[in-house]
Amino acid sequence: MNTTLPRFLLIAGMTALGAWVLTPSVVYFTLDDAELDEVQKDTTKFKQHLPSWAPEAHIVPGLDLQGGVHMVLGVDLDKAVADRARRISSRLRSDLEDKKLGFSAVDHLAEEGKGDRVKATFADQAALDTFDKDLAANYADLAELSRAGTTVTWRVHPEWVARVKSDAVDQTIKTITNRIDKMHVTEPSITKRGQDQVQVQLPGFANPEEAKALIGRTAQLEFQMCDDESDFLTKLSDLPEWAKLQTSGFQRRDGGYAQDNFLEFPEENLKDMRAYFVGKVPTGLVVKYGRESARDGEKRWRTYTLKADVALTG
């Protein structure tokens, strides 16, 4: 039996199939720089360079062959845990109010530990006993640290800390993936690296600044209210010589007047100022920092005293 014809047809068919499959890759690698840049920015544009009968899938060269952007982003896990503690303190305050249990304060201790502490002071022992009996079981995400009289301090439970950190990294990967999808990058690689980092590879993406601007921007905005009534800055007796206490008055919307107390300092002392405030900020407040308009070419910063509770997120 003559098998030459079937073999020839099989070889011809396999060759034709291989040519059909490889056509998109051949077209991709023969694009000029302008066309390649256009396709890398918008993968849907590749179809216009193909014959109508060809598939769209093609070989995608990695960073080693075509270059691109390689980024390693850090995830602020301590902030994720602190945000959890802040939400718990708000929930605790609401529960105590709903149950009509007397208390004088429920605070998120933003400046203690890693921002994972919550403290409550009950009106009397009866209120604390009722909390222990009826509500404590609802706060499995808290672990008690200390108890003095009717004041109890908790921290976020270690098991919940691990869960919050894992969720924070997963959410970061999801957010980055959604942003990269809008960039139409071909075959991006987004992977977890270690416990608190995300590795991003964008083969063929030629603009690292654009990638950093899109991927690295803050995922969430938080709005905190200034505390115009706080005067703790005026009571500090050990101010560094490079920091100056400033006071400015302004008129409220209700027609009243208030004072804005803040510290002004050179930009190079920002790290020192952060260290100075450790342990000095009253419970329920946080201190943030912002640049001021440069005077005489000197870059200066100032403090803002804010309420620790986040009024609005978006």
Q: How far is CA 300 from CA 9, 212, 246, 262, in A?
A: 79, 27, 13, 13
pLDDT of residue 66: 60
pLDDT for position 182: 73
Kindly tell me if the per-residue pLDDT of 194 is higher than 50: yes
3-state secondary structure of 132: helix
Asked whether 126 and 104 are in contact (CB, 8 A), the reply is: no
- As a whole number, mean pLDDT of residues 174-188 equals 77
pLDDT at 312 over 70: no
Q: Give residue-wise pLDDT tens across range 122-156.
A: 999 999 999 999 888 889 899 999 999 999 999 99
Q: Taking 80 as the threshold, does the pLDDT of residue 60 lie above it?
A: no
pLDDT of 61 > 70? The answer is: no
Work out the end-to-end distance of the chain between its first and last CA atoms, rounded to an integer number of angstroms.
77
> What is the reported pLDDT for 253?
61
- Tens digit of each residue's pLDDT (9 = 90 or more) over 1-52: 567 777 888 888 888 887 787 787 787 777 777 776 676 666 677 778 778 7
Compare 220 and 98 and report the one with higher pLDDT: 98
Q: What is the mean pLDDT of the chain?
A: 82
pLDDT tens digits, 195-216: 888 888 887 676 778 777 777 6
CATH number of 78-159: 3.90.1150
Model confidence pLDDT, tens digit, residues 269-287: 999 999 999 888 887 788 9
Give the Cα separation of 267 and 271 in Å (integer).
9
The vertex-241 CA angle with 236 and 244, nearest 5°, equals: 65
pLDDT number for residue 233: 93
pTM: 0.56
pLDDT attached to residue 52:
78
Section 249-265 average pLDDT = 76
**Is it the case that residue 307 has pLDDT exceeding 90?**
no
Any idea where the domains of the chain sit in the sequence?
4-59, 71-75+168-215, 78-159, 222-313
Between 86 and 68, name the one with better pLDDT.
86
Residue 157 has pLDDT above 50, yes or no: yes
Rounded (10°) angle between helices 158-181 and 208-215: 130
pLDDT band at 263, cuts 50/70/90? very high
